Amino acid sequence: MSTFVEILKAIGLAVLVFTFLAIVGAMYGVYFERKISGWIQARIGPKHVGPWGLLQTIADTLKLLQKEHITPRSADAMIFNTAPIIVAVAGLLDWVVIPFGTAFGRVLVVRDINIGIVYFSAMASLTVIGILAAGWSSNNKYALLGGLRSASQMISYEIPLALALLWAAMLAGTLSTVGIIEAQRGGWFLFKVPPFGLIAALVFLTAATAEVNRMPFDLPEAESELVAGYFVEYTGMRFALFQLGEYAEMFAMAAVASILFLGGWLEPSMPQWVWALLGLGALALAAFIRFSALREVLLVRPILALAALAAVLCGLMVLGIGLGRTPVLPSMLWFFVKMFGLVFFLMWMRWTYPRLRLDQLLGLSWKVLLPVGLLNLLITGFLLTVAR
């Protein structure tokens, strides 16, 4: 009987995680991407469908659902049709080990397995099979080139990524994601063993950006050289599945970065006056923008909204600490604040830096990130052993 309940629970959680991520991760990922790129390029971005263009992605998805599936005549049909599913499922499976917060004394995670981050990097590495299969089976030279570039890139960047994951695991003494967060109750790993925590976080973020094929490492889909790279032959919903996998993985990378280095769902423990100072600063910035001519400038306007949000957050914290509540805000809120902060950072990178050349890309991985990651691991291990 318990097996039956267990299977039902697994199916329910899978549906929950997959639908939640399909909506938030992919659809609103695309929306944020377009809004943020608009901001950085001093445009407005989508605004016609729904309030602030919020329904634009839903309209786009409906459009993609209606499109015809085209399988090129000389493509390997079976592999061609399976590849998008591999990419999407591998991207979504990352989320099994990611804890969203705590509620009613329980950790909100699909499964807290004792090899959490090994599982995460294993699932992240499966994506490349789908990409390679898509690139090869399309029978298109641009797709194949994109697939090959992606393979060499993802294999190279998996190693620094794993080294950064190992760094956090070494400090926490566990591979479980929940265990790593619990180990950060004393302080974020970002500031542990300075400056090595910062170095590890930088290595992780760089490798994660490359691993999800985003600018400035988006050579597999470089529009100006390869049309669209490995998914050039895909139409309709199959094309959307690649997007879904990509955004699901990007969000997962941001979530794991927040878990490893920013304490996941834990509330930052700072004294009341720091929160008050931060809140006042944000409020002053918001007021300055609101009551000056700057609010007409497209590049500045989003800062007003962000500063207002930050001021509200800090105000709530000051109030909560004043009332003597220990975790002032729900843990899930903190997790999403950190995750979306990192997602924003990744999008900011994308629209700021130009694309690297392939040899620069591989050189960065093997000649910079790999030695830095290894030395970081070695020195931190040495320091920890000496300190003990």
Partner 1 sequence: MGELAAFLILSAVILIPGVIVVTSRNIVRSALSLVPTFLGVTGFYIMLQAEFVAGIQVLIYAGAITVLILFVIMLTEGGSGVEVRQANEQVPLGATAALWLAFLMLLVVLRTPWSLSPGRPPAYSASAIGSAFLTNYALIFEVTSLVLLVVLIGAIVIARREE
Question: Interface with partner 1 by CB under 8 A: which range of 154-162, 191-199, 206-214, 277-285?
Answer: 154-162
What is the closest distance, in whole angstroms, from the C-beta atom of residue 152 to partner 1 in the complex? 7
In whole angstroms, what is the distance from residue 125 CA to residue 95 CA? 14
Is residue 133 at the binding interface for partner 1, with CB under 8 A as the rule?
Answer: yes
- Residue 332 as a binder of partner 1 (CB under 8 A): the answer is no
CA distance 80 to 234: 9
Q: Which is nearer to partner 1, 178 or 347 (CB)?
A: 178
Selected from 62, 65, 115, 383, the binder of partner 1 by CB under 8 A is: 115
Q: Check residue 74 and report its DSSP letter.
A: T
For position 114 contacting partner 1 by CB under 8 A, the verdict is yes
Residues 244-263 that bind partner 1 (CB under 8 A): none
From 352, 65, 22, select the one nearest 209 (Cα to Cα). 352
Query: Which residue, 148 or 276, has its beta carbon nearer to partner 1?
Result: 148
| Strand bridging mode 102-103 / 106-107 | antiparallel
Tell me the C-alpha distance between 200 and 298, whole Å: 35
Which DSSP string do the residues of 146-188 spell out, in sequence order? HHHHHHHHHHHHHHHHHHHHHHHHHHHT---HHHHHHTTTTS-
75-104 positions binding partner 1, by CB under 8 A = 76, 79
Smallest gap from Cβ 151 to partner 1, in A, equals 5
Decide if 233 contacts 138 (C-beta within 8 A). Answer: yes
How many residues bind partner 1, per CB under 8 A? 29
User: Cα(40)–Cα(92) distance, rounded to whole angstroms?
Assistant: 29
10 binds partner 1 (CB under 8 A): no
Name the residue nearer to partner 1 (CB basis): 95 or 188: 95
Nearest distance, CB of residue 73 and partner 1, angstroms: 15
Distance CA 9, CA 3 (A): 10
Residues that bind partner 1 (CB under 8 A): 3, 76, 79, 113-115, 118-119, 121-123, 125-126, 128-129, 132-133, 136-137, 141, 144, 147-148, 151-152, 154-155, 158, 175
